Structure 1
Amino acid sequence: MSADKKINVGVIGYGLSAKVFHIPFIQALPDYNLYAIVQRSPKSGDDASADHPETKLFRSADDLFADKAVDLVVVTSIPETHYDFTKKAIESGKHVVVEKPFVPTSEEARELTKLAKENKRLLAVYQNRRWDQDFVTLKQILASGKLGEIAEFETHFDRFRPDPPTRTTWKTLATPASGALYDLGSHLIDQVYHLFGAPKSVTGFVQVQRKGLKTGDCAPDACTVLLKYGSPKDEMLVTVKSSAVSPEQDQLRFWVRGTKGSFKKYNLDVQEPQLLAGVKLSNSEFGVEPTSSHGTLTVAAADGKYNRETVPSIEPPPTYAEYYRVLAKALKGEGEVPVSGDDAADVLKIIELAQASSDSGNSQSW
């Protein structure tokens, strides 16, 4: 693809993912042209053609695949449709971005990754939280060596939602790739994988925490995954946790402990709530955490005392636009995709091992 050509994007699906996490960033960057949207059943107040009158509207994904002008397909439909849509998009000559969770199984992920390579198409998975402001800040702290050798790494995505959901979606029904482990857990596990790679062993606890849920019909709403890295003499333990019943005003996000110091951080990245509230990407406050959410670095001093300081989150924040900036360069032959299918396949394998561990009561080896 030539460096001066705009990338024509076709988006499959017009739900929350498309409206909030993809289209705003596609439209914000000059490399892209929002060329088409697939929406099967527009409704009054939810009509892609009304929201984007200059964009083609298709009723079926097959019509999108048949359009030779489309360069990149973004799949934002429910997870159980991802495999077929991605396969057809690649076979029709398109590059593809797929929302997380990539596909229901790691086997399907590896099939699609192989297919993309065989067809010389780029395949990327939308793990946008690699560009959370606090995660990028944490990466800098780890690289600085201030924490020493890491002994324990905790990452949380906890909420207080004790009542059963008022509406059903793929996230709440017991369907393929549903529930907390695939939904929120995939974000956390991807960040851990990005930092440390594949673990030595996986222990999982997958639960339904909210009372009144029919466990046979509803997807699990909580998970705890323990990942072991290193040798028995030099072991690091990673805890990945997502809870639906966590009555805290400030939810723990990261707690990393090492031989020299620790880093503790509360509250989630602000981009999602800002996007849901309609904050524009051009707003100077977009992606910027309040100072009250900045993390704390504690370093053990030689005299037995501790030096504690607040660590401002990195500015300017990278924002999720960085995902699409990196992707644009890759599409023009200037580097790799932001998150590869190979990475996503390994993350899915960790998820599968966590579920197998929870089902059996035994830890699983990588």
Structure 2
Amino acid sequence: MASKTFNVGVVGYGLSAKVFHIPFITTTPGLKLHSIVQRSPKANDSAPADYPDLKHYTSSDDLIADADVDVIVVTTPPDNHFDLTKKALESGKHVLTEKPFVPTSAEAQKLADIAKSAGKLICVYQNRRWDADFLLAKHLIQTGALGRVLEFNTHFDRYRADAPTNWKGQLGISKGGSALFDLGTHLIDQAYVLFGLPQSVHGRLLNQREGRPEFETPDAVVAQLTYPDGLLVNVNISALSAEVDQLRYWVRGTKGSFRKFHLDPQEDYLRAGGKPTDSGYGIESTDRSSLTAVDETTGKSSQVPVPELAPETYRTFFSEFAKALQSGKAEDIPVKAEQSRDVLRIIEGVLESAKTGKDVVLA
């Protein structure tokens, strides 16, 4: 059977659409950028001017009603993800929804059920599963280089004295906003990929800029996920981390440890105008990482070379998504709605624990 090219319509024309979706849609075999929704094009920010050969809409309803569109990509703020995704699925479209998926695990399950009933695919954009440093940490864990993992520390720290003025700083937790959903979704999703649902969760939510607890628009998160084998996952997000070298990962195991500083380079490269098809895209030097191994004979620890892996990059996500569209099989989706539902259960546990001061048992 000949492969099909799927027409893709993008809802929204902000950073997410411009940097994380359109450059990949236009370079992934099997996908064709067909149309864009931008409510209010401006002289210096205009989808019709940037892509004059496409169809353009100012209403998501008009795009969803377009019979030529096969796939809807939702890149709007998270408080309307549920309604847009539901409408698209019920209109017979496949859907790719940006993270954070929806504000609650119950809504995530509803969308998974709707997709199944409609016979359509639903996928969540968790691109940081394809960060080079995360895949390196995953490789070290899965190959046993670190032994049994005892502690997995994951950070998204930076120094931002001014609160963001977009949904990330202004939408509350109840609508899928704040640091807990913006950055916490990335860190907790990665922990979930590696270790699954934790047994229990303990959390703290803070407004570091004002120095107080905060349960609606926190800018800092401290959470600990506990697993039955004693593994601890420590999740840390800070808005006021005054460091030259920001810690990203510190993984400790019975046979060694791994540390990584700074973020994966893909986002900065794309935001600076780089293309996902550029030579060298996604390659990160191992200079920012260190690996320690224990000599089984002497019991002494020493630095050893960090493996250099070929980068998969965010292109892999879109390639896998396109393959899932071709097969029509839910099991081929790279990030399933049910997985994001589980991540939301963990996030809800962090919030409940922060409010009560008690551990929340999940599994």
TM range (shorter): over 0.9
- Whichever residue aligns with residue 320 of structure 2, its letter is V
Deviation at 1:135, TM superposition (A): 0.9
Matched with 1:82 is 81
User: 2-side partners of 1:133 and 1:257: how far apart?
Assistant: 19
Deviation at 1:215, TM superposition (A): 6.3
Matched with 1:264 is 259
Render the CA deviation track for 1:49-108: whole Å, top value 9, x for unaligned: 111111110111111111111111000001000000000000000000000000011111
- Whichever residue aligns with residue 185 of structure 2, its letter is S
In structure 2, the CA distance between the partners of 1:55 and 1:96, relative to structure 1 (3 Å rule), is same
Deviation at 1:304, TM superposition (A): 3.0
User: 1-side partners of 2:261 and 2:95: how far apart?
Assistant: 34
Render the CA deviation track for 1:176-207: whole Å, top value 9, x for unaligned: 11111100010010011011110000101111
- Whichever residue aligns with residue 172 of structure 1, its letter is G
1:345-360 pair list within 5 angstroms: 345-360=341-356
Matched with 1:229 is 227
Render the CA deviation track for 1:253-305: whole Å, top value 9, x for unaligned: 11111111111111110000001111122221211113422x21111112132
Matched with 1:247 is 242
- Whichever residue aligns with residue 123 of structure 1, its letter is I
TM-score by length of 1: 0.94
- Whichever residue aligns with residue 348 of structure 1, its letter is L
User: 2-side partners of 1:158 and 1:215: how far apart?
Assistant: 18
Deviation at 1:23, TM superposition (A): 0.4
Deviation at 1:136, TM superposition (A): 1.0
1:1-366 pair list within 5 angstroms: 3-161=2-160, 163-165=161-163, 168-175=165-172, 176-211=175-210, 219-230=217-228, 234-293=229-288, 295-301=289-295, 302-315=297-310, 317-333=311-327, 336-366=332-362
User: 2-side partners of 1:312 and 1:255: how far apart?
Assistant: 16
Secondary structure, in 3 states, of the residue corresponding to 1:235? Answer: coil
Deviation at 1:122, TM superposition (A): 0.3
1:39, 1:57 within 8 Å by CA — same for their partners in 2?
Answer: yes
User: 1-side partners of 2:152 and 2:211: how far apart?
Assistant: 33
Aligned-pair Cα RMSD in Å: 1.7
Deviation at 1:3, TM superposition (A): 4.5
Runs of 4+ in 1 over 2 A off after TM superposition: 211-216
Deviation at 1:9, TM superposition (A): 0.2
In structure 2, the CA distance between the partners of 1:155 and 1:350, relative to structure 1 (3 Å rule), is same
1:134, 1:313 within 8 Å by CA — same for their partners in 2?
Answer: no
User: 2-side partners of 1:214 and 1:297: how far apart?
Assistant: 36
User: 1-side partners of 2:332 and 2:305: how far apart?
Assistant: 34
2:286, 2:306 within 8 Å by CA — same for their partners in 1?
Answer: no
Render the CA deviation track for 1:323-353: whole Å, top value 9, x for unaligned: 1100111111175111000000010110011
In structure 2, the CA distance between the partners of 1:87 and 1:318, relative to structure 1 (3 Å rule), is same
- Whichever residue aligns with residue 287 of structure 2, its letter is S
2:206, 2:214 within 8 Å by CA — same for their partners in 1?
Answer: no
User: 1-side partners of 2:265 and 2:202: how far apart?
Assistant: 30
User: 2-side partners of 1:102 and 1:350: how far apart?
Assistant: 14
Deviation at 1:6, TM superposition (A): 1.0
In structure 2, the CA distance between the partners of 1:363 and 1:23, relative to structure 1 (3 Å rule), is same
**What runs of 5+ residues in structure 2 fail to find an aligned partner?**
none
User: 2-side partners of 1:247 and 1:253: how far apart?
Assistant: 14
- Whichever residue aligns with residue 321 of structure 1, its letter is R
**What runs of 5+ residues in structure 1 fail to find an aligned partner?**
none
Secondary structure, in 3 states, of the residue corresponding to 1:311? Answer: coil
TM-score by length of 2: 0.95
Aligned residues with identical type, % of pairs: 51
User: 2-side partners of 1:360 and 1:143: how far apart?
Assistant: 35
Deviation at 1:4, TM superposition (A): 2.3
User: 2-side partners of 1:23 and 1:150: how far apart?
Assistant: 38
- Whichever residue aligns with residue 201 of structure 2, its letter is V
